[in-house]
Amino acid sequence: MIVAVTPLPSLPREAFDPKAFARGLDEGQPLVACKDAISQCTEFLHRQFRAGADAGLLIRQRAVFMDQMLGALWDNHGWDSTDLALVAVGGYGRGELHPHSDIDILLLLGADYDPGSGQIEGFLTRLWDIGLDIGHSVRTVQECVDAGRDDITILTNLMEARVLRGPESLMQEVRQLTGPTQMWSSAEFFRAKLDEQRARHTKFADTEYNLEPNVKSSPGGLRDLQTISWIAERHFGVESLDRLTTEAFLNAEEMKVLKDGREFMWKVRYALHMVTGREEDRLLFDHQRELAGIWGLEDGDKLAVENFMQVYYRWAQALSMLNEVLIQNFDQAFLTAAGAHDVQELNGRFQMRNGYIEARNDNVFKVDPSAILEVFLLSARNDAINGIAAPTIRLLRNSLHLIDDNFRASDINKRMFIELLRSPYKLTRQLKRMLRYGVLGRYIPAFGRIIGQMQHDMFHAYTVDAHTLEVIENMRRFQIPEFAERFPVTSRVACRLPKIELLYLSGLFHDIGKGRGGDHSELGAVDARAFCEDHGLSKRDTNLVTWLVESHLTMSAVSQRRDISDPDVILQFAQHVGDENRLDYLFALTVADINGTNPTLWNAWRGSLLRQLYTETKRALRRGLENPIDKQVWVDETRDAAIDSLEYRGFTVEELQELWKERGEDYFLREKSEDIAWHTEAIAGHHDKSKPLVVLRSTLDSSVANTTQIFIHARSTPQLFPRICAQLEQLDLSVHDARIYNANDGMTLDTFFVLSADGSSIAEDSARLNHIREHLTETLGDYSEAKDDVQRRTPRAKKSFSVPTETKMSVDEIKNYSVLEVSTPDRPGLLARISRIFVDFGIELQAAKIQTLGERVEDVFFITDHKQQPITDPAMCEAIQRAVREELDEQAVA
């Protein structure tokens, strides 16, 4: 039986005066009357919102206002026929209208209505002239039926329809012809809506913890509640979840969580629409601070925005769990209705019913608290178990108080947790459930402190706990054949690790020290050691996990910020690692961590750097740390290989020695022999010395990944590097690495590894490659015509972070350079700005290592004064760094 629709609330005269509005229409000023009415109602509702009124009341009152205004306009229109209905559908039909939500209406035509009269077009035109965001459809009853049969989204909108004007009988006929006995049975509807939800969750990485969540569509958002509401309406005949009071589906406590959580999400969405002045459902960084202020939060030990987002994540997680409980309850109801009663006993405490594990009695956790971990262990050992039954989830949540010091001290529980990490099936899913149901944070209290902890930067895409589970999921992927193409090297390495649970433990603890102040790697290592020792791991295994947690950033930092073509760098890193087993574990952890930090960070370029470091370190370890390769041997081997290649192209050794006489050893250390041959042949064939030589090469070779190499040979001047950087920006290219070699003959050899600004490869676009070459040749050869200013603005999201630029200067005693390190959010024109500062200070750039890490850059510049000596004056060093910081931080907010 369908319960009568809950009546909408009344609307105060202060918000909308129907009589005054009707007078405005009668006086022939409909546009003025409508716009004044909208403005008056909006201002009233906003005042009520800021005064603390429930958002749920306000969005219903706005729907009432829209009902009255549209109804009055309809009545004033003077229709020739009554065989036509104005119907509110979608969210508006549900009686929920946020400040800038679309107003979805259906013009429902009866059999006797003439659609060619033009009256409908006139009515809609008036609504558009008013400025309403109208989403409309014009259909007959049969067209509604046909559309609903073909498209479940249309059917869903029709399920929420309310007739505002016209004959109710038309809509009643639609309801009868689109009911579950006519099309989309409740079981079919359930499966289709579940597929929709899964696809939507996948779009948001299947986590409530995105740093910029969508309050409507992200997991735990309003759409999750609407999905289960639609299913309840279709199957149980209730028009809202508030009416679903059967204890088997929602108990009183869960109903309170649902209502309070929905009110919170409504409030967030209302505030977003209010502060942005548009339909904005994304909780973007630049809105989060403003909403934190609306909530009355202030900065303290934690930023106000972090406290606000932690509240958001808590509600999103609670609503996700309710969604899961109800979906499973519905699933079981459909299976039972279909006659499915597949029950399989697992042991004395648990059984599997229709694919879900469930407790065999309500006292199972009270009698044996260890069963709390056992339910997850059984699920991870049996691939047929799809999830935990909703009643058992409730029992788990009500038994969390049993996870205390005695529970954590139990040898049985310790063994079960380690066995869980060794289990073959759906480990990450079990850990995510343990997190969602509150078990993981209780069993590992240090993990409980990072749940919902925001990482307010542009580098991380998730909260700390969500990132941690994403890292472990990546580790699982390394062992699944279908992911081998994406992670070919890492998959082979991970599959030969002797104890995979040690890798998972390192992932579980690698960021657990965040938010406490101090070095999170060191803090996490202390926690990891205590956990491993407490759980009976051997001293060797404990030391490995502890070292991995403490060193989890090292491999990434060395590959991205050090010159990994230098044998000394490889030797130092090999000495830090110590043996091949540690190297394998650290490599797998590093790749999993990078991919779990932000999906956009991983690309072929970063992969190639890590593979190069991994390969060279493994060779050093196999050779023996007591037998390091001599730099001169490395240089000679590269030079000889380049000579062998070039001799096939007609060069003599004497010619090559003449061409290379001004090249320093760095060139032969850092460049591959095939690239040296390419450079040499291009230089030898370049006869117009008045123009710079610009050549490009794209390859999928692992040494350069999917980047394009731009090689420039030109007369060295202080302005050359900033000019090149500016031109690359204007060409919409992103620099991922740059190598600069200044020769004694006054020439420079510069190699830039670039991608398009959006991260895509330009390797196959020959027209664009030609344009780049011609543009650089022309602009670098004629300084008077070049325009170096970069006009693109700093993107919105990057402005939202007041992350100051960090700089550091030191002296490389071996190479006799000063080393300037710059860490800052990426932005247009960054390299050009830094290099212009070098010109202002009379600095000569000897080499550079440019690394774009997603939304952040960590650049290293090797610089000298004009006499090619390192800069050692402390005042000058500070002045250079201050200039860089001020220039970049000023640009960040421009």
Residue type, 487: F
**Rounded average pLDDT over 520-529:** 96
Beta bridge partner(s), residue 753: 709, 737
Distances in whole angstroms, Cα of residue 24 to Cα of each of 33, 79, 483, 656 = 5, 19, 66, 90
Eight-state DSSP code of residue 644: H
Distances in whole angstroms, Cα of residue 844 to Cα of each of 53, 370, 864, 870 = 63, 67, 5, 10
Contact 425, 383 (CB under 8 A): yes
Contact 462, 432 (CB under 8 A): no
Provide the token pair at 274: 């209010």
Residue 791 scores a pLDDT above 60: no
Q: Between 147 and 633, where is the model more confident?
A: 147
Residue 163 scores a pLDDT above 60: yes
- Compute the distance between CA of residue 518 and CA of residue 871 in angstroms, rounded to an integer: 31
Residue 286 three-state SS:
helix
Provide the token pair at 778: 């022309």
- Compute the distance between CA of residue 265 and CA of residue 140 in angstroms, rounded to an integer: 36
- Compute the distance between CA of residue 61 and CA of residue 45 in angstroms, rounded to an integer: 8
Contact 862, 817 (CB under 8 A): yes
Q: What is the bridge-based pairing of β-strands 856-864 and 844-849? A: antiparallel
Contact 592, 541 (CB under 8 A): no
Element (H, E) at 549: helix 539-550
pLDDT per position as a tens digit, 803-860: 688 999 999 876 788 999 998 887 777 888 898 899 999 998 877 777 665 567 878 8
Residue 701 scores a pLDDT above 60: no
Beta bridge partner(s), residue 849: 860
- For the sheet with 350-353, list strands across it: 343-345, 350-353, 356-359, 387-388
pLDDT per position as a tens digit, 246-281: 555 778 888 889 899 999 999 999 999 999 999 999
Element (H, E) at 334: helix 304-337
Apex CA 275: angle with CA 210 and CA 199, to 5°? 30
Apex CA 492: angle with CA 488 and CA 496, to 5°? 165
Please name which of 139, 176, 165, 173 lies closest in space to residue 81, comparing C-alpha atoms: 165
The per-residue pLDDT for 278 is 94
**Rounded average pLDDT over 685-713:** 79
Over pLDDT 70: what percentage of the chain?
Answer: 92
Residue 2: pLDDT band (50, 70, 90) is: very low
> What are the backbone angles phi and psi of residue 378, rounded to the nearest 5°?
-60, -40
Residue 199 scores a pLDDT above 60: yes
Beta bridge partner(s), residue 465: none
Over pLDDT 90: what percentage of the chain?
Answer: 56
The per-residue pLDDT for 575 is 95
Eight-state DSSP code of residue 87: E
Contact 234, 186 (CB under 8 A): yes
> What are the backbone angles phi and psi of residue 435, rounded to the nearest 5°?
-65, -50
> Helices 152-159 and 141-150, interaxial angle, to 10°?
130
Burial of 531 (0-12, 13-18, 19+ CB in 10 A): buried
> Helices 30-50 and 18-26, interaxial angle, to 10°?
160
Token pair 């000569």 is at which residue? 844
Plot region of 184 (φ>0 → left; ψ -120 to 50 → alpha; else → beta): left
- Compute the distance between CA of residue 182 and CA of residue 185 in angstroms, rounded to an integer: 7
pLDDT per position as a tens digit, 361-412: 999 999 999 999 999 999 999 999 989 998 899 899 999 999 999 999 999 9
Burial of 306 (0-12, 13-18, 19+ CB in 10 A): buried
Contact 723, 831 (CB under 8 A): no
Contact 352, 343 (CB under 8 A): yes
The per-residue pLDDT for 789 is 53
**Rounded average pLDDT over 504-514:** 96
Residue 892 scores a pLDDT above 90: no
Residue 5 scores a pLDDT above 50: no
Residue 796: pLDDT band (50, 70, 90) is: very low
The per-residue pLDDT for 825 is 82
pLDDT per position as a tens digit, 458-475: 556 678 998 999 999 999
The CA R_g of the chain, rounded to the nearest whole Å, is: 33
The per-residue pLDDT for 253 is 84
Eight-state DSSP code of residue 423: -
- Compute the distance between CA of residue 461 and CA of residue 378 in angstroms, rounded to an integer: 32
Q: Which of 169-178, 233-242, 729-738 has the lowest mean pLDDT?
A: 233-242
The per-residue pLDDT for 42 is 96
**Rounded average pLDDT over 621-646:** 89
- Please give the mean pLDDT across all residues of the chain: 88
The number of residues in the chain equals 894
Residue 782: pLDDT band (50, 70, 90) is: low
**Which range, 201-210, 531-540, 760-769, 838-847, has the best average confidence (pLDDT)?**
531-540
Please name which of 323, 602, 328, 616 lies closest in space to residue 477, comparing C-alpha atoms: 602
Q: What is the bridge-based pairing of β-strands 134-140 and 856-864? A: unpaired
The per-residue pLDDT for 263 is 96
Residue 416 scores a pLDDT above 60: yes
Residue 787 scores a pLDDT above 80: no
Contact 99, 42 (CB under 8 A): yes
With b for 16 or more beta-carbon neighbours within 10 A and e for fewer, the 676-700 pattern comes to: bbbbbbeeeeeeeeeebbbbbbbee
- Compute the distance between CA of residue 589 and CA of residue 716 in angstroms, rounded to an integer: 42
HEC sequence for 95-149: CCCCCCCCEEEEEEECCCCCHHHCHHHHHHHHHHHHCCCEEEEEEEHHHHHHHHH
Residue 7 scores a pLDDT above 80: no
Provide the token pair at 714: 């030109």
Residue 242 neighbours by CB distance under 10 Å: 15
The per-residue pLDDT for 325 is 86
The per-residue pLDDT for 703 is 46
With b for 16 or more beta-carbon neighbours within 10 A and e for fewer, the 709-729 pattern comes to: bbbbbbebebebbbbbbbbbb
Q: Which of 199-208, 238-247, 562-571 has the lowest mean pLDDT?
A: 238-247
Q: What is the bridge-based pairing of β-strands 134-140 and 103-109? A: parallel
- For the sheet with 708-715, list strands across it: 693-698, 708-715, 747-756, 733-742
Residue 718: pLDDT band (50, 70, 90) is: confident
Contact 789, 842 (CB under 8 A): no
Residue 538 scores a pLDDT above 80: yes
Give 337-341's long-range contacts (Cβ < 8 A, gap of 24+). Answer: 337/187, 338/187
